[in-house]
Structure 1
Amino acid sequence: MGQATSHNTPALDCCCCVCINTSEVGVVERLGQYSRLLTPGWNWIAWPVEALNCSMSTRIQQLNTICETKTRDNVFVEVGVAVQFSVIPEQVYDAVYKLTDAPAQIRAYVYDVIRSTVPKLTVDEAFENKTHLADEIKSSLQKIMAGYGYTITNALVTDLRPDDRVKAAMNEINANRRLRMASTYEAEAQKITQVKAAEAEAESKYLSGVGVARQRSAIVDGLRSSIVEFSDAVDGTGPKDVMNLLLLTQYFDMLKDVSSVGANTMYISHGPAAVGDIHGQLREGLMYQAH
């Protein structure tokens, strides 16, 4: 009784029986010529006329390979590829007798596809088209390896690695692009803030002007009312006398308010002529506001 599990390892059994593992197919030769296939389990062979040449696994296998190539913009990159393949059970004969080293054959075709596709792309386009590159590899391998008894389950581009200096330059370009975008957004935000602040200031000044205008209007109305009432109450006084009295009273109130704010010192001419000048200036100002 004997058992064979590796490719190209004959196993002869003096009891004329062999065991084939699960997910494997045995290949029997009669006098050096292909005879038949053996299924998993206990099998009989006519030894020494027949012999087990090998047993082929039908499980999915994975081949990892790395290929270096150059992109259209003259950047060398390493492309990592993982190919998942398996033997077609109905074509074990082709897998055994038509191809000696399946991984080497697959690796050669992977290199051919990568080196004919990637040079047409820039580095950025290569990163963007990894799925397309994987599909190209799978499609090409599927057509070729089917004739050798293999099926390609999947092909994956697992890595795309440019030179470290190129990678650092790409990262710097991307960082600068993002900084430029951030600066643009920040400038737009500052612009909006300044516009809103200007609008708020304009509205504030407008409302302040409206308030001052209303205040002056109220002052004029109050003075007019005071003049009329005082003239009616005191005989021999005219509107001009009352107005002069009110202006001087307001002037003294102003001096009182100014002197009560802080510890400031103010020098004001306060002789009779100066008081007369102030009186004239105040009267002209109020008359101008009234008009």
Structure 2
Amino acid sequence: MLNLVLLPVLGIFLLLIIFSGIFIVKQQTSAIIERFGKFTSIRSSGLQLKVPLIDQVAGRINLKVQQLDVLVETKTKDNVFVKLKISVQFQVIKNNVYDAFYKLESPHDQITSYVFDVVRAEVPKMKLDDVFERKDDIAIAVNRELNEAMEDYGYDIIKTLVTDIDPDVQVKSAMNRINAAEREKVAAEYDAEADRIRIVAKARAEAESKRLQGQGIADQRREIARGLEESVDVLNNVGINSQEASALIVVTQHYDTLQAIGEETNSNLILLPNSPQAGSDMLNNMVASFTASNQIGEAMKEYNRKQASEKKKNGSDDDINE
């Protein structure tokens, strides 16, 4: 009766022992097997077997690419405190799982120490502006130092990035003010250039307008003169002499001017003589002005001829005396 009770118990115990020797290793993971505390083997992903009660899984190593973010505070060459965020991407070398498990207790602390050492050696050599411009050089220096140090522990440094540079708050505010002032300066220069272009374009347009206006006035006066000439010729053909024809034309234009002024309701007050004698007086004044102008012109020509003759005579006398 006792045997009937013990047999199922022993069977269950044996099954538990057998199943304890079966274990699963996930993808991109390696398992470290120890026997009585001593390393035995490394098992890769899949269904694995070990000796029950003797072998044990001492640990598992992640073979995926991992990332560690390290925040380092240091001082630049121009005495500005700055915080740099360094992102280190690393991975356990598949063939060096033993070294990664047994040689290094805390890889994160080790990587952090090397990052601090390199950053605090490189950044103090640079000014703040150079830190922003040469952040790739800092990342390369950190990556090179980490690769040399961590390779002995079975780790491969995939990539090192400087993901953030954060200066002191006061320095950052000053930089923002400088940047804003520089942008305002550029904007003012563009506004001034735009104003200059508008002024030049307006001046050119006004000059062109005046030129065309002057050309139009000249053409208008030319056509008026031609029309007056034709009118005088027509009047001469019907027996009216040139002086009478001119007087008639002046009187006609005088009344045309009065009519044009009268039609403008918004015109200012202008007092003009409206008798027929006004046109005749205007013509006489014009003729007198032209006559006086011609007389002055002839007198000036005669004076210039006398002056030239005297200079020529004096020059001849000087030649004889010599």
TM-score by length of 2: 0.74
Give me the identity figure in percent: 36
1:42 to 45, 48, 56: 48
Cα deviations by residue, 1:95-142 (Å, 9 ceiling, x for unpaired): 233222111010011111211222233333322333332232222211
1:245 paired residue number? 248
1:7 paired residue number? none
1:220 paired residue number? 225
CA distance in 2 between counterparts of 1:260 and 1:137 reads: 93
Q: Name whichever of 173-182 and 260-269 sits farther off.
A: 260-269
Does residue 86 (structure 1) correspond to residue 91 (structure 2)? The answer is: yes
Residue 47 of structure 1: how far off its partner (Å): 4.7
1:153 paired residue number? 158
1:109 paired residue number? 114
Structure 1 residue matching 2:186: 3-state secondary structure? helix
Q: Greater helix percent: which structure?
A: 2
1:96 to 101, 105, 119: 101
Cα deviations by residue, 1:64-98 (Å, 9 ceiling, x for unpaired): 22111122332222111221222222222222332
1:179 to 167, 176, 184: 184
Aligned length: 273
Counterpart AA for 2:283: H
CA distance in 2 between counterparts of 1:230 and 1:274 reads: 21
Q: Name whichever of 70-79 and 279-288 sits farther off.
A: 279-288
Counterpart AA for 1:268: L
1:19 to 13, 18, 23: 23
Cα deviations by residue, 1:186-230 (Å, 9 ceiling, x for unpaired): 222221222122112111111111111121122222222222221
Q: CA-atom RMSD, angstroms?
A: 2.9
1:192 to 187, 197, 205: 197
Aligned residues of 1:24 and 1:39 also touching (Cα < 8 A): yes
Counterpart AA for 1:42: Q
Bigger CA radius of gyration: 2
Residue 250 of structure 1: how far off its partner (Å): 1.1
TM-score by length of 1: 0.81
The gaps in structure 1 that reach 5 residues or longer are: 1-12
Structural mapping, 1:120-139, within 5 Å: 120-139=125-144
Aligned residues of 1:69 and 1:78 also touching (Cα < 8 A): yes
Aligned residues of 1:79 and 1:159 also touching (Cα < 8 A): yes
Structural mapping, 1:198-277, within 5 Å: 198-234=203-239, 237-261=240-264, 262-268=266-272, 277=281
Inter-CA distance 66–229: structure 2 relative to 1 (3 Å threshold): same
2:282 paired residue number? 278
Inter-CA distance 38–271: structure 2 relative to 1 (3 Å threshold): closer
CA distance in 2 between counterparts of 1:146 and 1:213 reads: 95
